[in-house]
Amino acid sequence: MTVVVRTEGLRKVYGSTVALDAVSLEVAEGSVYGLVGPNGAGKSTLLGILAGLRRASSGAVEIATPRRRVAVMPDTPRFDPWITAREVVDLARALTAPEVPLAAVEEALAEAGLADVAARRVGGFSRGMLQRLGIAATIVSGPDLLMLDEPCSALDPLGRHEVLELVSRLGRRATVLFSSHILADVQRVCDTVGVLREGNLLYQGPLDRLLEDHVKPAYLVRLRSAPEPVIRSLRAESWVVGVTEEGRDEIKVEVSQVAAAETGLVSTLAAVGARVVSVEPVAADLESVFLEITS
């Protein structure tokens, strides 16, 4: 595994406030790394240090990609209001990769969904449009490493969907490091995740492993009949850890052994005469795992 971004014991202190504490990050080449954490966790500070906009109080930063091949997007991009969207993207191209043909500007604008407003001055752009423009300016040079700070924070659901699709596509040709406090976004596009809280990196590794490690085998049972007899019957089973009512006609069954549940759950439901609509395993989601490891 080639590591593109590595930090060793990174620490950042503002006066008496510790913004980052001994953060050792590793971003593998070709990965889509999601940096998650609540507001104030230190995500922007960490990205700022990696981007060269801030200096660490101590620790080391190593970026294996040449500086010109790294593109950074701040969380709320803003530009001089009197330049056009096309000029912003072209300026980004000219500064970072002048060898890239002009056609790349139009392609980047189209990919960010701004082709129709390319000639408009950005002074009248909404926050969402500015964020898309920031993305276009970031991808125009075809970077090898992208650092995106909260790229979806100002977007509506459709815009978010489109940008996440874009991040997903970018992940096939570059390494992407992006921060977000929207866990569903991270779960959707990232293969690696780092969980940051109060300046500490609590977890770092493949997203799948994180979910597997924290998953508690459970099943969601939808019923058409009253749940009480079913709950009583299930609680009597040795392989059942807990049964909770999730809704009026739904119960969640947490089990200790998946194999026992797979053979015993349906027969237990049948024995009690329950009218079963569906039985499905509960997938682990990042939000519940996040809450678990940050609490």
User: Which residues contact other proteins by CB under 8 A?
Assistant: 48, 51-55, 67-68, 70-72, 74, 76-80, 82-83, 87, 90-96, 134, 137
In the bound state with other proteins, the residue whose beta carbon lies nearer, of 9 and 66, is 66
Q: d(Cα 177, Cα 48) in Å, to the nearest integer?
A: 12
> At 176, phi and psi to the nearest 5?
-120, 130
In the bound state with other proteins, the residue whose beta carbon lies nearer, of 73 and 223, is 73
State the sign of the Cα–Cα–Cα–Cα dihedral 27, 178, 173, 122: negative
Residue 123 DSSP label: G
In the bound state with other proteins, the residue whose beta carbon lies nearer, of 97 and 215, is 97
C-beta of 162: minimal distance to other proteins in Å?
A: 22
48's tokens = 């700022």
In the bound state with other proteins, the residue whose beta carbon lies nearer, of 81 and 205, is 81
In the bound state with other proteins, the residue whose beta carbon lies nearer, of 95 and 158, is 95
Q: d(Cα 242, Cα 18) in Å, to the nearest integer?
A: 40
8's tokens = 């060793």
Burial (CB < 10 A; 0-12, 13-18, 19+), residue 116, is exposed
C-beta of 78: minimal distance to other proteins in Å?
A: 4
Q: d(Cα 227, Cα 236) in Å, to the nearest integer?
A: 15
C-beta of 97: minimal distance to other proteins in Å?
A: 10
C-beta of 85: minimal distance to other proteins in Å?
A: 12
C-beta of 115: minimal distance to other proteins in Å?
A: 18
In the bound state with other proteins, the residue whose beta carbon lies nearer, of 60 and 259, is 60
Q: Cβ contacts of residue 157 below 8 Å, gap of 6+?
A: none
C-beta of 233: minimal distance to other proteins in Å?
A: 60
Angle at 134 between CA 131 and CA 140, to 5 degrees: 140
Helices 286-294 and 207-214 pack at an angle, to 10 degrees, of 70
C-beta of 113: minimal distance to other proteins in Å?
A: 20
Whole-number Cα distances in Å, 272 to 28, 151, 264, 267: 52, 51, 12, 9
**What size, in residues, is the chain?**
295
In the bound state with other proteins, the residue whose beta carbon lies nearer, of 72 and 201, is 72
